[in-house]
Structure 1
Amino acid sequence: METPSAGLSVTIHSNLAKSAARRAVNPRNFFTELKRRNVYKIAIGYGVVAWLLLQAASILFPTFEAPPWTMKVFVAVTALGFPIALIIAWAFELTPEGLKRTELTDELPKKSSRNRAWIYVVVIAGAISIGLFLLGRFTAAPKQSASADFPAKSIAVLPFENFSQDKAFAFFADGVQDEILTDLAKIADLKVISRTSVMQYKNASSRNLPEIAQALKVAHVLEGSVQRSANRVRVSAQLIDARNDTHVWADKYDRDLADVFAIQSEIAQKIADQLQAKISPRERSAIEKQPTKDLAAYDLYVRATDAIDAAPTTQNIKENFLEAITLLEQAIARDPAFFNAYCKLAQAHAQLYLFGEDHTRARLVSAEQAINAALRLQPDAGEAHWAQAGLLYSKLDYDGARAEIEIARRSLPNDARVFELSGYIDRRQGRWPESARNLERALEVDPNNVSILWQIALSYESLRDYAKDAAVLDRILALKPNDLDARLARGQLEVAWRADTRPLHEVIESSMQQDPASGKRLAPLRIFLASAERDAGAAERALADLGDDTYGPDAIQFSRAFGEGQLARWKGDAAAAHASFTTARVAQQRIVDAQPDYGPALCVLGLIDAGLGRQEDALREGRRAVELTPLSKDSINGPIIMGFFAVICAWVGEKDLAIEQLTRALQLPGRLNYGGLRLSPSWDPLRGDPRFEAIVASLAPKEVHD
């Protein structure tokens, strides 16, 4: 006897069999079946929701500074989910009883009203996605338009991260980055930001690449890492289009350490290819050339480069250059054919000579020997001709320097130093507008170069445009908020501009409290400050800390004995002043004998003789110093020497001549300023003279009325 349940089972199986036969998929009913199984609905719904999620991710991921690869993974997962969703839609259907296979739902009772919830979901999701799309478009538009004007073939090579276990290899990572940057900079079809502007991002805890690109005014950014261990090196690099924060290219190189220079050349050429830059055969040859085969020599070179780059913005220029010279000589001893090392060595020697730190024939010969060695190795290289231009500039041979710069420019199209040196030559010749234009052009490829900004600030100081000077110094402080030299310069500006010593006093005092050993480094400024504040005790301590070093503006350098004589003079101790000046004169006479035609040295001798009361000698030496430093040759030191000649005249009682020289000097851009004339003891012999007081009053800022 057949039970009811058994009959029901037979009926269901029979119906399923019929249903299966009825629903068999064939080309004629396939699309009808897709519709019946809600595959179309799911496809549309998934597409709308996926687009919604992608729009949201494109806005939120950059906001939270997610790594660029996360967006790629998100897109891949979203795309992979689409076929999976379609398969599930075909095989299953959502019912009030839960998720059922489609074949089973066919035989279940149908509800009279159809569920249209999916339509509302799609409509709402679509509305949200459109809203996010519009939001993304309007919020991203300013960012895109801000970078749209940057050349497509522009790039900044950021410092590479050091992943080596030995953190002492950090300089090696810097060297890898520097060589890639240098190779790219040789390509005229590219705009490449100079090394000094990208180095500030070296130790950044996190990098916002679009912001960095915006600051440096480039479309692309290259970043990477270096891992060095034993005789192996791994270099990773990735090229980012900062306009939309997308990866353009990435690669890893794991090779013998000896191949590191080949890796650098390969990366440079890959980047040039990605940016579709045209590379001439000469440029390609220069990129493929290895700097040296001795990695130890290269390490020494990288360290020397850091010391040279830091020198112009420190209070101890001489120490930096001497350190660099020692390192470069060691590098050359290891590899006598190290071309770049000779160029850097020539630069260090030439600048020691130029800045008056060692203005001797021996220093000049050392620079010439280094340049000659570089030219023998690579006579057509732009680096050698730039170094030659630097030496000629140091010798005040401006026409020769300009000719060498033009040669260097051909193979160094992205080198800010070419425009920088042109600007310095213009300024020395008193061509101030041309100087400003060249320095601004240098900033185009080196926008964060603090050294160039320092020089622009110096120009404004010489022009006595203190508001602009302050703005440039504030820009430096924005780049390097804790930089002591910038803070000191800002304090000095207040002395020159407003005769206000308090800011400088506070910076020096704070620095010495934090680091008592900084007293020697700050000795030159402490002497200047103590004189302005008439603090004899502070002056004595500063002179003691000075030791055998010198101090003074630019090429005018004073010894400790001279400072002690000047201190005794304004204290009214004639005997002590005479003794100190006598000591200073012996040493200064030796300097003059070694270089009798060097105006700054002769100027110092004239001041010493004025302090000793040797009127005729002092006036003769002062006049000769002015003659040896004509404004056409040196518009920096020329006015300084003219001002000191006015001091010589005042010290020997020639007040009329002193006023005449001072008036003449103030008609020129220079370092004479309101604060110096009002506060320095050097001008005491002229105080009370109505003519002098009128000059001082004419220089006072508008807000000073006393």
Structure 2
Amino acid sequence: MTPSTPAPLAFGESAIDFAGRRLLRDGIEQPLEPKAFAVLALLAGTPGRVFTRDEILDAVWGHRNITPGVLNRVMTLLRHALGEDAQAARYLHTVHGVGYRFDLPAIAPGEPSQATQGSAPETPPVPRHAARQHASDRRSMPRALPWLLPLLAVLAFSGWLWWPHPAATPGPATERSIAVLPLVNAGNDAQQLYFSDGLSENLIDALSRFEGLKVIGRTSAFQFRDSKDDSATIGRKLGVSYLLTGSVQRAGDVVRINASLVRAADGSALWAEHYDRPYRNLFALQDEIAQAVAGALQVKLLSPEAATQPGDRPPGGSIEAYNAYLQGLKYWHDEDFPQAAGHMTQAVQLDPAYAVAWAHLSGAWSTVAAFSNEAPAVAREHMRQSRVAADNALRLAPGLGPAHAARAYLQFYGFDHRGALAECRRAVQLAPADGTVLNGCGYVLGGIGKLGEAIRLRERLLSIEPLYAVNHYQYAKLLAAAGRLDKATKYLRIAEGLSRPGSHPGSQQMYIAIARGDVETAREIARNQSAPWRDVYLAIAMQISPDRAAADAALAKALDDEGPAKTAPYAIAQAYALRGDADKTVDWLERAPAHDIFFMLVDPLILRLRDDPRLIAFCRKTGLPPPGESEALSIDQIRAAGSTRRL
């Protein structure tokens, strides 16, 4: 090491090895471009100092003849690698109008420093909010102290727990913000709807590559198909200033597109054009429309690299492959994954270099294998096909975010939590505005107990998909696991308002009532569930009742030979966890399907036994991380937090 090279720096869950030019997070190296690491090394080498943008450009690039968007992109990559965002920065701070500053976390007097100089640790220090008291430590404590443990865990967690988070509902529209409403299928041919929807989604993807332009995702924008709302109402609901509308008709070898860019506030047209082009020139036409819209909004590409990123088009230019891909995408969004896999297979047969189609093919087959009731041999074959597809996608396009996400899902379903964590972080780094990546990795990171990161991904997805009910619902579940029950209730209500009646069970509200110790509300919610879940939910809800005879009777009814226990073993495990019966909890967990076990480490009921050797052994045997490493709170810790706030 040269004298000018700083010693390794460890902070929070991260460590910087300056000599090795590596950033590690939770012991996993984060892939960074050389220029991105150089910026990080410059800022972190002198914590607290403000570097102007020109100083950074001179030091790292040697000149200033680059677009401002390049540095913006690098800072975004660094924040993703460090697990933070600009709205809740811990380390990388923007000094508006000047430049950037790297700060180390504040250390309380007498507390050992989190930033350590010396050799880079193989595994960075465990963050304070995830630290847990071991059972052996508890046995050595005076008898009057064990009741403090849940409270101490909550207080240690509170530094993250009460950190302000970005608003999740659409706020005032930013000046450069747009929603692409689904292009009208002007030919009225239902068989061509996938084509008009696919072109709409392509425009969303293309516009997302322009600097400073907020683009609403497909799920939220497509809710306004055939809407009678005026432009002002749509703009307000989506939080955007502009709407791109139009129609498309494919007639033989000709594509006819009408497109208009309007101001949402008053519906006035900013730009409009009509196109009649040969179908074989479709890709050039898509580019022409995106450039025209960007020109009208006066925005430019994020960086030169953005233009070369793999998109949704086949690299060989096969219109037939693209057509198969669009059909597969239609079934993907409909959650008909076997049909999606069939069309994606056709797309890659027509163009074997079609990386994004390989990525979707992998995701489709792994989802089918993990969540359907296939015979074991069939599921194994679909997992094999998924692995082949993911390998092909990454070989063809190592920088494709959805390909890394596809690999992450495979590793998650195979209980390789470290591999899944690294791949999801890479996927989000490469595709920070891809709704499918954010949603999928939100599930993965929550499932392996990385609650803080999972919540941040859900919040990012809220900003581009403000009307996506599933995301509101999953965000609420994570908030509840963090003990933020009031906010969780708020987002559950939003999800219910956005969903079709009955599309989300009321069980999550029941779990919040259990966390509050409100047996009457929990029981009432359980009674309103449909059969056969009613008896199972009653068995869970009644375990917090002071009437032990009623609790026993409710559980016995759920366990009856004619009851639903055989189809809901995980729910029975939750009931036994509330009773504190670790043996029977683990017994029922062993009967549960893998797709229930995937998300066990974000379940406050099961985490009530997080320090029990039997649950720890079950996680080890299954391949899950130790339950003590999960950042989610147990039901007891959530209650302790509520008691502390009331004091």
Query: TM-score band, normalised by the shorter chain?
Result: 0.5 to 0.7
1-structure distance, mates of 2:392, 2:284: 25
Give how far 1:369 is off.
0.8
1-structure distance, mates of 2:475, 2:419: 24
Q: How does 1:51-130 map to 2 (within 5 A)?
A: none
Contact 1:186–1:411 under 8 Å retained in 2: no
Report the equivalent of 2:205: 182
The structure-2 alpha-carbon separation of the partners of 1:270 and 1:235, relative to structure 1 and needing over 3 Å to count, comes to same
Contact 2:536–2:558 under 8 Å retained in 1: no
The structure-2 alpha-carbon separation of the partners of 1:173 and 1:504, relative to structure 1 and needing over 3 Å to count, comes to farther
Higher helix share: 1
The structure-2 alpha-carbon separation of the partners of 1:441 and 1:620, relative to structure 1 and needing over 3 Å to count, comes to closer
Aligned with residue 251 of structure 1, among 269, 273, 285: 273
The structure-2 alpha-carbon separation of the partners of 1:169 and 1:425, relative to structure 1 and needing over 3 Å to count, comes to closer
Give how far 1:162 is off.
1.5
2:264 aligned with 1:242: yes
The structure-2 alpha-carbon separation of the partners of 1:304 and 1:539, relative to structure 1 and needing over 3 Å to count, comes to farther
Contact 1:427–1:636 under 8 Å retained in 2: no
2:147 aligned with 1:153: no
Give how far 1:238 is off.
0.8
> In structure 2, the residue corresponding to 1:485 is in which secondary structure?
coil
2-structure distance, mates of 1:286, 1:501: 52
The structure-2 alpha-carbon separation of the partners of 1:410 and 1:541, relative to structure 1 and needing over 3 Å to count, comes to same
Give how far 1:624 is off.
3.1
TM-score of the aligned structures, taking structure 2 as reference length = 0.55
Contact 1:466–1:493 under 8 Å retained in 2: no
Contact 2:359–2:402 under 8 Å retained in 1: yes
Contact 1:430–1:631 under 8 Å retained in 2: no
The structure-2 alpha-carbon separation of the partners of 1:355 and 1:303, relative to structure 1 and needing over 3 Å to count, comes to same
> In structure 1, the residue corresponding to 2:530 is in which secondary structure?
helix
> In structure 2, the residue corresponding to 1:290 is in which secondary structure?
coil
2:536 aligned partner, one-letter code? F
TM-score of the aligned structures, taking structure 1 as reference length = 0.51
Report the equivalent of 1:627: 620
2-structure distance, mates of 1:221, 1:382: 27
1:478 aligned partner, one-letter code? G
2:502 aligned partner, one-letter code? L
Give how far 1:155 is off.
1.4
> In structure 2, the residue corresponding to 1:486 is in which secondary structure?
coil
Q: How does 1:662-677 map to 2 (within 5 A)?
A: 666-667=635-636
2:292 aligned with 1:270: yes
> In structure 2, the residue corresponding to 1:262 is in which secondary structure?
helix
- Structure showing greater radius of gyration is 1
2:393 aligned with 1:374: yes
Report the equivalent of 1:165: 188
2:524 aligned with 1:528: no
> In structure 1, the residue corresponding to 2:503 is in which secondary structure?
helix
2-structure distance, mates of 1:162, 1:202: 10
2-structure distance, mates of 1:599, 1:488: 18
Report the equivalent of 1:365: 384
2-structure distance, mates of 1:176, 1:329: 20
Report the equivalent of 1:32: none
Report the equivalent of 1:414: 433
Contact 2:170–2:238 under 8 Å retained in 1: no
2:403 aligned partner, one-letter code? A
1-structure distance, mates of 2:324, 2:469: 24
Question: C-alpha deviations, 1:120-165, integer Å up to 9, x for none?
Answer: xxxxxxxxxxxxxxxxxxxxxxxxxx99964333211111111213
Report the equivalent of 1:325: 341
2:221 aligned partner, one-letter code? V
Contact 1:382–1:412 under 8 Å retained in 2: yes
2:406 aligned partner, one-letter code? A
> In structure 2, the residue corresponding to 1:484 is in which secondary structure?
coil
Contact 1:187–1:413 under 8 Å retained in 2: no
Contact 1:347–1:387 under 8 Å retained in 2: yes
Give how far 1:374 is off.
1.3
Gaps of 5+ in 2: 1-168, 541-553, 577-586, 601-611
Question: C-alpha deviations, 1:599-620, integer Å up to 9, x for none?
Answer: 959x9xxxxxxxxxxxxxxx99
2:394 aligned partner, one-letter code? L
2-structure distance, mates of 1:153, 1:174: 23
The structure-2 alpha-carbon separation of the partners of 1:326 and 1:413, relative to structure 1 and needing over 3 Å to count, comes to same
Report the equivalent of 2:495: 476
Give how far 1:370 is off.
0.8
Contact 1:429–1:634 under 8 Å retained in 2: no
Q: How does 1:495-510 map to 2 (within 5 A)?
A: 496=514, 498=519, 500-503=522-525, 506=528, 508=530
Give how far 1:249 is off.
0.9
Aligned with residue 342 of structure 1, among 354, 358, 361: 358
Q: How does 1:557-636 map to 2 (within 5 A)?
A: 600=597, 624-628=617-621, 632=625
1:172 aligned partner, one-letter code? F
2-structure distance, mates of 1:246, 1:637: 51
2-structure distance, mates of 1:253, 1:634: 58
Give how far 1:451 is off.
2.5
Name the structure, 1 or 2, with higher relative contact order (CA <8 Å, separation 6+).
2
> In structure 2, the residue corresponding to 1:388 is in which secondary structure?
helix
The structure-2 alpha-carbon separation of the partners of 1:234 and 1:498, relative to structure 1 and needing over 3 Å to count, comes to farther
Gaps of 5+ in 1: 1-145, 312-319, 510-522, 559-565, 567-581, 604-618, 640-663, 674-697, 702-706
> In structure 2, the residue corresponding to 1:447 is in which secondary structure?
coil
Aligned with residue 249 of structure 2, among 187, 209, 227: 227
Question: Once structures 1 and 2 are overlaid, which stretch shifts more, 483-492 or 249-258?
Answer: 483-492
Q: Percent identity?
A: 25
- Count of aligned positions: 432
Question: Once structures 1 and 2 are overlaid, which stretch shifts more, 626-635 or 434-443?
Answer: 626-635
Report the equivalent of 2:461: 442
Aligned with residue 305 of structure 1, among 329, 336, 356: 329
2-structure distance, mates of 1:344, 1:243: 37
Question: C-alpha deviations, 1:409-452, integer Å up to 9, x for none?
Answer: 56534224555566555544544344323321221122222222
Report the equivalent of 1:215: 237
Question: C-alpha deviations, 1:225-247, integer Å up to 9, x for none?
Answer: 12233333221111112245321
Give how far 1:343 is off.
0.9
1-structure distance, mates of 2:170, 2:389: 43
Contact 2:212–2:299 under 8 Å retained in 1: yes
The structure-2 alpha-carbon separation of the partners of 1:628 and 1:147, relative to structure 1 and needing over 3 Å to count, comes to closer
2-structure distance, mates of 1:147, 1:538: 45
1-structure distance, mates of 2:325, 2:535: 35
The structure-2 alpha-carbon separation of the partners of 1:624 and 1:493, relative to structure 1 and needing over 3 Å to count, comes to closer
Give how far 1:337 is off.
3.7
Contact 1:210–1:243 under 8 Å retained in 2: yes
Report the equivalent of 2:225: 202
Contact 1:456–1:472 under 8 Å retained in 2: yes
Question: Once structures 1 and 2 are overlaid, which stretch shifts more, 194-203 or 412-421?
Answer: 412-421
Report the equivalent of 1:579: none
The structure-2 alpha-carbon separation of the partners of 1:637 and 1:283, relative to structure 1 and needing over 3 Å to count, comes to closer
Contact 2:181–2:243 under 8 Å retained in 1: yes
1:229 aligned partner, one-letter code? A
